[in-house]
């Protein structure tokens, strides 16, 4: 029997990067996966991969910063499979890279709502479905905002990422009575699409002094950015019963990048 046999997972930001790799990893281990992303077509490829692996997936279009869209994702999942066991609250954006003095309130708000309010919503609307059988919630935070502050201009991002940590710890305490575990993962630099537009406008970047984007030569362990699949292995562990005494924890997955 597979590790996650008969379990149902909801993965947000499943169309790319860490969410995509983790959805596939959970499916490989027997779970059925509800794939949530901003655009349905983003998750079609993930869905196909999962079906090739002999598991099942549904693609749901939705914005995790909109309460009714998050609630609807759980509704569709439960209509399809009757339960939810695992929630990977992972969707996120880098947002505007701008000095605080130039940061527009709307840009601040967008990053906070996409990364932090979305985490609250993803956890909140999961509770009715998880509380009967217990379950595991994993939140993607970051080394950024928790251990390192090297990306100048990312004040909203850093705030959202440390905010997720406080929220996740409160959630771990509140939800322990339902046997719902809540843990945070803190990746270092991982090769995904998140920075696609972040570093594009060179002119704009001149305004934010970025002392080190990556440590020279990458992180100490492998001298390069990590792979989404490496993060997926940690997500699998935290999703499964193998981590059944771990809740309210933060786990750094960065090859010691944050210690430099
Ligand atoms: P990515 O851009 O490759 O994937 C993120 C996915 O989330 C995209 O498919 C995007 O469409 C989706 N998404 C974004 N906002 C959404 C919203 N409001 N509603 C629904 N879907 C939304 O990025 P990634 O690097 O895989 O990022 C995943 C998480 O990992 C983020 O929370 C990010 O902050 C975190 N993280 C990434 C790194 C890194 O170096 N890549 C490091 C630390 C933490």
Beta carbon of 187 within 6 Å of any ligand 1 atom: yes
Pocket test for ligand 1, best of 192, 199, 218, 226 (most atoms within 8 A of CB): 192
**10 Cα to the center of ligand 1, angstroms:** 15
Residue with tokens 């792979």: 227
pLDDT band at 198 (very low <50, low <70, confident <90, very high): confident
Pocket test for ligand 1, best of 34, 47, 92 (most atoms within 8 A of CB): 92
**196 Cα to the center of ligand 1, angstroms:** 11
Beta bridge partners of 187: 253
Residue with tokens 């490829």: 45
Beta carbon of 65 within 6 Å of any ligand 1 atom: yes
The pLDDT value recorded for residue 111 is: 98
Beta carbon of 59 within 6 Å of any ligand 1 atom: no
Mean pLDDT in residue range 53-62: 97
CATH of the domain spanning 8-259? 3.40.50.720
Pocket test for ligand 1, best of 10, 14, 17 (most atoms within 8 A of CB): 17
Whether 214 and 199 have beta carbons less than 8 Å apart is answered as no
**Cα 186-191-192 angle, rounded to 5 deg:** 90
Is residue 48 pLDDT above 90, yes or no?
yes
Beta carbon of 10 within 6 Å of any ligand 1 atom: no
User: Domain spans of the chain?
Assistant: 8-259
Write out pLDDT tens, residues 129-156: 999 999 999 999 999 989 988 888 999 9
Whether 230 and 20 have beta carbons less than 8 Å apart is answered as no
Look at ligand 1, atom 23, and give the residue with the nearest C-alpha.
194
pLDDT band at 254 (very low <50, low <70, confident <90, very high): very high
> What is the Cα–Cα distance from 138 to 141, expressed in whole angstroms?
9
Average pLDDT, the chain: 94
Write out pLDDT tens, residues 68-115: 999 999 999 999 999 999 999 999 999 999 999 999 999 999 999 999
User: What positions carry a catalytic annotation?
Assistant: 157
Q: Does the model's ipTM exceed the 0.95 cut?
A: yes
């Amino acid at each position: 029997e597979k590790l996650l046999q008969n379990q149902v997972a909801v993965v947000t930001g499943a169309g790319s990067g860490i969410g995509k790799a983790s959805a596939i990893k959970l499916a490989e281990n027997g779970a059925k996966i509800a794939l949530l992303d901003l655009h349905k077509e983003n998750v079609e490829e993930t869905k196909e991969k999962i079906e090739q692996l002999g598991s099942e997936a549904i693609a749901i279009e939705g914005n995790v910063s909109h309460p009714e869209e998050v609630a609807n994702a759980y509704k569709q999942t439960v209509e399809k499979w009757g339960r939810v066991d695992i929630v990977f609250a992972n969707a996120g954006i880098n947002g505007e890279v701008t000095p605080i003095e130039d940061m527009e309130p709307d840009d601040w708000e967008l990053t906070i709502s996409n990364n932090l309010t979305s985490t609250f919503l993803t956890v909140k609307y999961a509770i009715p479905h998880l509380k009967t059988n217990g379950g595991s919630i994993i939140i993607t935070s970051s080394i950024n905002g928790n251990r390192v502050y090297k990306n100048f201009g990312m004040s909203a991002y850093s705030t959202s990422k440390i905010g997720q940590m406080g929220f996740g710890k409160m959630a771990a305490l509140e939800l322990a009575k339902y046997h719902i575990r809540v843990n945070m993962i803190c990746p270092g630099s991982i090769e995904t699409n998140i920075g696609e537009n972040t570093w594009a406008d060179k002119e704009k970047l001149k305004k934010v002094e970025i002392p080190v984007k990556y440590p020279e030569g990458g992180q100490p362990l492998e001298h390069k950015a990590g792979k989404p699949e490496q993060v997926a292995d940690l997500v699998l562990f935290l999703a499964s019963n193998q981590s059944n005494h771990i809740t309210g924890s933060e786990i750094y997955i960065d090859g010691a990048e944050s210690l430099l």
